[in-house]
Amino acid sequence: MKNIIRNIKGTNDILPDESLLWIYYENYIRDFFQKYGYKEIRTPIFESTELFLRSIGKDTDIVSKEMYSWVDQGNNNLTLRPELTASVSRSFIQNQLNKKQKSHKFYYIGSSFRRERPQKGRFRQFEQFGIESFGSSFPEQDAEIISMAYLFYKSLDIKNLNLRINTIGSREDRKKYVQSLKEYFNKFEKKLTSISRKRLESNPLRILDTKIDFEIELVRKAPRIIDYISDEDKKHFQTLLNILDNMNIPYVIDNYLVRGLDYYSRTVFEVQSDSLGSQNALCGGGRYDYLIDELGGQKTPAIGFAAGIERLILASELDVNHIENKPDIYIVASSNEAINLSFSLANKLRYKKNFVVIQDTLRRSIKSQMKDANRLQARYCIIIAEEEIKNSTVSIKNMDTGDQKTKLFDEVLDFFK
């Protein structure tokens, strides 16, 4: 092959056949979230780098090594968003939405960028959708969000779902917990991998995410955060679990689920699917009751989750061939005059009947145009050839039955009543 330019590693082209699946899911996402009264918010793809430093946290993997950041010609430090919670929070504060009403519920769909090592289900540009709710600190808000995450996948018939939930309490309680976690892992420092040893200094909670067998064994015996949190936070968690029980939403309490972003407090959760392989998280989220305040807004409790569309598509068994995409009509035209006529007829059928109408622009023979109509599985062909022009008629062929009828031009719209 010639020396062609290729896409960047970890990015994907979505070709027209596959984009049918994407359109299907994007429509599904919008319908699903709108059923709960969530409204779409769109924020810019790039932001000040500082926004992500201050929200996601400088010691996280995302900020310390995965961001696409640059300094532009005006000396501004900019970053392609690695997620949308920070951007939505910034927009919430900047537009003073808290003054308009007490509760705000948003959903979004948009690209995110992280310089991770690409593998199945993990890309450098990926499409996230998610929801964020601002204003309520009550456990019923957590229950709404978590049940939406679970039922979203359930309603799409995604198999082997596993909802994991934990509570990580307040900042103060977490400090005490981190201290005892440090003391515990310090005892095994020499045995730890170099990554975990670094984390022991920078962010010991992240050791709980280890995928290394002998470290997992250590984690199983490590102190649990639930033993460090306040009675009030425990009550919040228990009320949330009771509501989920009442909804018959199955979950597992995972005492070591902490998530890789710094802004969380109280509830955290993930929906995983075993069908995905090592990148098994379909979605993840939690409360971030401190973030709005920390970004300079008025203290506002918040909770949300985000998910990748690529992983949804990987986990789903929906076959693109089952998505209806057949043209209603293919117009076969055989001469200049026929081509001219076909344009006005095609537009009438599109705008008056709402049909999908295909026209040939390759000046192919009648036979090849019919072949093309067959390939596309058009429901009808409208043929305008010499004979038809002479008589001001068209031939309409039902491609399923093979029936063919002759109609005057003026009768075509009525034929498709």
As to burial, measured by CB atoms within 10 angstroms (0-12 exposed, 13-18 middle, 19+ buried), residue 321 is exposed
> Which one of 290, 305, 330, 380 is in contact with ligand HAM (CB under 6 A)?
305
Nearer to ligand HAM by Cβ, of 131 and 244: the residue is 131
Per-position x/- string for 214-253, each x denoting binding to ligand HAM as judged by CB under 6 A, each - no binding: ----------------------------------------
Per-position x/- string for 324-353, each x denoting binding to ligand HAM as judged by CB under 6 A, each - no binding: ------------------------------
Which pair of structure tokens corresponds to residue 73?
Answer: 């010609």
- DSSP assignment of 79-147: EE-S-SHHHHHHHHHHTTGGGT-S-EEEEEEEEEE--PPPBTTB-SEEEEEEEEEES--SHHHHHHHHH
Dihedral of the CA atoms 336, 340, 343, 345 (nearest 10)? -110
Residues 6+ apart with CB under 8 A from 284: 259, 268, 269, 270, 271, 305, 306, 307
Q: What number of chain residues touch ligand HAM (CB under 6 A)?
A: 26
Q: Does 311 bind ligand HAM (CB under 6 A)?
A: yes
329-333 β-sheet, strand order? 357-359, 329-333, 380-384, 393-398, 404-408
> Which one of 310, 369, 384, 394 is in contact with ligand HAM (CB under 6 A)?
310
Q: Does 282 bind ligand HAM (CB under 6 A)?
A: yes
Task: Give the H or E element holding residue 380.
Answer: strand 380-384
| Least distance from ligand HAM to the Cβ atom of residue 361, Å | 38
Q: What is the distance between the alpha carbons of residues 28 and 22, in angstroms, rounded to a whole number?
A: 10
Nearer to ligand HAM by Cβ, of 306 and 357: the residue is 306
Nearer to ligand HAM by Cβ, of 282 and 381: the residue is 282
Q: Does 292 bind ligand HAM (CB under 6 A)?
A: no
Nearer to ligand HAM by Cβ, of 259 and 397: the residue is 259
Q: Which stretch binds ligand HAM (CB under 6 A): 12-20, 21-29, 44-52, 116-124?
A: 116-124
Nearer to ligand HAM by Cβ, of 316 and 334: the residue is 316
Decide: helix, strand or coil at residue 58. coil
> Which one of 122, 154, 348, 407 is in contact with ligand HAM (CB under 6 A)?
122
> Which one of 97, 178, 212, 281 is in contact with ligand HAM (CB under 6 A)?
281
Query: Which amino acid belongs to residue 292?
Result: I
DSSP category for residue 60: S
E strands, 217-365, are 252-253, 265-273, 281-287, 302-308, 329-333, 357-359
Q: What is the distance between the alpha carbons of residues 329 and 324, in angstroms, rounded to a whole number?
A: 14
> Which one of 47, 61, 132, 144 is in contact with ligand HAM (CB under 6 A)?
132
Backbone angles phi, psi at 322, to 5 degrees: -90, 0
Strand partners, 304: 132, 286
Q: Are 331 and 359 in contact (CB under 8 A)?
A: yes
Nearer to ligand HAM by Cβ, of 173 and 310: the residue is 310
Task: Give the H or E element holding residue 197.
Answer: helix 194-202
> Which one of 61, 83, 215, 233 is in contact with ligand HAM (CB under 6 A)?
83
Q: Which stretch binds ligand HAM (CB under 6 A): 44-52, 239-247, 284-292, 371-379?
A: 284-292
> Which one of 38, 123, 150, 380 is in contact with ligand HAM (CB under 6 A)?
123
CA distance between the termini of the chain: 51
| Least distance from ligand HAM to the Cβ atom of residue 129, Å | 9
Nearer to ligand HAM by Cβ, of 120 and 191: the residue is 120
Nearest to 167 by CA among 249, 226, 227: 226
Q: Does 304 bind ligand HAM (CB under 6 A)?
A: yes
> Which one of 55, 57, 130, 165 is in contact with ligand HAM (CB under 6 A)?
130
> Which one of 60, 85, 196, 267 is in contact with ligand HAM (CB under 6 A)?
85
> Which one of 307, 349, 394, 399 is in contact with ligand HAM (CB under 6 A)?
307
| Least distance from ligand HAM to the Cβ atom of residue 176, Å | 24
Q: Which residues bind ligand HAM (CB under 6 A)?
A: 83, 85, 114, 116, 121-123, 126, 128, 130, 132, 261, 281-286, 288, 304-308, 310-311
